[in-house]
Amino acid sequence: MSPVRRLLLFSASLLLSVSPSPAQSHATLRRTAEAAYQRQDFAAARDAYAAALALRPDSPRYLHHLAATQALTGRTDDALATLHRLTALGVAPAVERDPAFASLQGSRAFNAIRTALAANREPQGAADLLVELPGRIGIIEGIAFRDRTGDLFLGDVHQRCIWRRDRDGRVSRYSAETEELFGVFGLALDETRQTLWAATSAVPEMSGFTAEQKGRAALAAFSLVTGELLRVIDVPSDGRDHVLGDLIVAPDGTIYATDSAAPIIWRYLPGGEEMDKLVEYPDFGSLQGLVLTNRTLIVADFVNGLFAIDLSESAPVVRAFTPPPNATLVGLDGLAPAPDGVFAVQNGVSPQRLVRIGLSSDLTAITSVTVLASAFPHLDDLALVTLVNGRPTFIANAGWENFDAAKSAQPPAHSVRIFQATPP
């Protein structure tokens, strides 16, 4: 899902999930800061951003805006120190073009910041182009690879279908046209049960979207033998909007799926009639990719980093990972398993990138964050990731960033690119 779309979903989820409390969340403080900035009370905005940053110290957004309000209130040294913290994260938002830093322009210290930002925009790591799909008019979000056949399955949000690319490079529509299928997001294979699972959600970017469909989401099961749609399991109706964005299949056939709008982690047990709520947690903001390691779910949250959910107890135990120094966990999307950690698409930072997050053996701490691919040509508008022959393989130029429903009913034709990174 696009960063823009994800932020919209997060904003909507805040209205539902944030309740007044003496201890304000960083998102509540951010809204306070934005309101103060709009009325040009830059000192109040500065203080609110500082409080938000204290709760989410790896946020490039908060660092950028805190530095801007520090500069606007004459705290030049503080602004420069904050910008140094920002560049140390390896990201490069468009600080140079922000008029809030007009008082710093031309100074030796600010020129050093510009140099650091330029270095962060240089290519890092390595990525090979595996597949190029020219002339696509969909939004390609989901990806799954079938080792047995060499088939690559792709979920299309706009065209509400699944595509299959065979080992010879032929691309064909895998799923039949049906109103039961909304926009197709994440995909997951269950070879044991010969099933391809899809997370499907009604969003404005899909063809034929109507207001009545808003907030509906489901799991869809397809036969790997025939491609037939076997069943659709709707998210239980609870008066809230739901967007299932990604899912995984456990060895016993249990499905775990993330709901970025509610936000909730859902579970579907094999042979069941409906899915049930596995966990809803106050610090969840916009849930995205997930992997299962033994009895622990590792879950990405676009605004709140990375969580571990221990399933070995009678009730799930949720724990947030602390980001290591000079690294950010903000803006994480798709996940795939890696030796001693996870591969993660991080499309909520600039430049967008694929990273490897190392985890301790007991899954309680992050040991490293390594950039595997960043700032190469065409390496933007990133979507989900899977493993192909053991290598992290991810979608670029998905089509989200080109789509404007106010201008056209469908995204313009574009080339979807699928890259493979080589872990160090």
133 pairs with which residues across the strands? 416
Q: Is the pLDDT of residue 8 over 80?
A: no
Tell me the mean pLDDT in the region 287-312: 97
Structure tokens at 193: 């049960």
pLDDT band at 424 (very low <50, low <70, confident <90, very high): confident
Confidence at residue 317, expressed as pLDDT on a 0 to 100 scale: 96
Pairing of strands 296-301, 305-310: antiparallel
| pTM, two decimal places | 0.93
What CATH number is given for 124-421 in this structure?
2.120.10.30
Q: Tens of pLDDT along 172-228? A: 999 999 999 999 999 999 999 999 999 999 999 999 999 999 999 999 999 999 999
Confidence at residue 405, expressed as pLDDT on a 0 to 100 scale: 78
Q: Is the pLDDT of residue 21 over 80?
A: no
Q: Around Cβ 202, how many Cβ atoms within 10 Å?
A: 22
Distances (CA, A) of 81 to 71, 205, 410: 11, 41, 45
Structure tokens at 36: 């103060």
DSSP 230-287: EEEEEPPP-SS---EEEEEE-TTS-EEEEETTTTEEEEE-TT-SS-EEEE--TT--SE
Q: Around Cβ 309, how many Cβ atoms within 10 Å?
A: 20
Burial class (CB in 10 A: 0-12, 13-18, 19+), 258: buried
Mean pLDDT for the chain overall = 93
Q: Tens of pLDDT along 70-105? A: 999 999 999 999 999 999 999 999 999 999 999 999
Q: Is the pLDDT of residue 7 over 70?
A: no
The CATH number of 3-120, from 3.40.50.1100, 3.30.870.10, 1.25.40.10, 1.20.1440.230, is 1.25.40.10
Confidence at residue 410, expressed as pLDDT on a 0 to 100 scale: 80
What is the spatial distance between Cα 298 and Cα 313, in angstroms, rounded to a whole number?
16
Q: Specify whether the CB–CB gap between 131 and 167 falls below 8 A.
A: no
* Per-domain boundaries in the chain: 3-120, 124-421
Structure tokens at 324: 């290591």
pLDDT band at 1 (very low <50, low <70, confident <90, very high): low
Q: Are the folds of 3-120 and 124-421 the same?
A: no
Q: Is the pLDDT of residue 20 over 60?
A: no
DSSP 55-122: HSTT-HHHHHHHHHHHHHTT-HHHHHHHHHHHHHTT---SGGG-GGGTTTTT-HHHHHHHHHHHHHTS
Q: Tens of pLDDT along 369-413? A: 999 999 999 999 999 999 999 999 999 999 999 888 778 878 889
